[in-house]
């Protein structure tokens, strides 16, 4: 089985971008963490794009290829009906992750379109949130 771990705009800079908010670990560290957490029996496909349409296309691809999706939509969380609609077309479990505690931040980060579809939402655990999300997808899809 495969778990898609999708990452939205600016997360390519994870580790360098506002480290006081997002930490010093990189997307490579996230990938390793997800692999180690999922264990054997699951493949991790970690993807990042700065482009909304690319994220939508990967969610469509996941319809055929993924047992579940872990998604940090980044800024698209707060803006994208297109990402929400794509996730509505995916049948497996979806867990939404935010590295930072978005509810402690600006009001515009408090609303998430993606949460209308997500089966779980994690915020403020740093990159550990991706491990928790991966563990949950495994739990919901094994057997
Ligand atoms: C984020 C929070 C979003 O508000 C922000 O736009 C991001 C990252 C997080 O992981 O904390 O780019 O999704």
pLDDT digits (tens, 9 = 90+) for 98-111: 999 999 999 999 99
85, containing H or E segment:
helix 81-88
CATH homologous superfamily of 2-141: Dehydroquinase, class II (3.40.50.9100)
Report the C-alpha gap between 26 and 2 in whole angstroms: 22
Burial class (CB in 10 A: 0-12, 13-18, 19+), 29: middle
Say if residue 143's pLDDT is above 90. no
Residue nearest to atom 8 of ligand 1 (CA): 74
CB of 12 closer than 6 angstroms to any ligand 1 atom? no
Complex-level ipTM? 0.99
Q: What is the pLDDT of residues 55-72, one digit of tens each?
A: 999 999 999 999 999 999
Find the 73 Cα to ligand 1 centroid distance in Å. Answer: 7
Contact indicator for 67, 141 with CB cutoff of 8 Å: yes
């Amino acid at each position: 089985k495969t778990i898609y771990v999708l990452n939205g705009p600016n997360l390519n800079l994870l580790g360098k971008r506002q480290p006081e908010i997002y930490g010093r670990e990189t997307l490579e560290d996230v990938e390793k963490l997800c692999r180690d957490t999922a264990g054997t029996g699951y493949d991790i496909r970690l993807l990042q794009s700065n482009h909304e349409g690319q994220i939508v296309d990967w969610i469509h691809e996941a319809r055929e290829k993924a047992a579940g999706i872990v998604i940090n939509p980044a800024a698209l969380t707060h803006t994208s009906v297109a990402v929400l609609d794509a996730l509505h077309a995916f049948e497996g479990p979806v867990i939404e992750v935010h590295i930072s505690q978005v509810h402690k931040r600006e009001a515009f980060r408090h609303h998430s379109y993606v949460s209308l579809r997500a089966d779980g939402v994690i915020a403020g655990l740093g990159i550990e949130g991706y491990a928790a999300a991966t563990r949950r997808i495994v739990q919901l899809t094994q057997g």
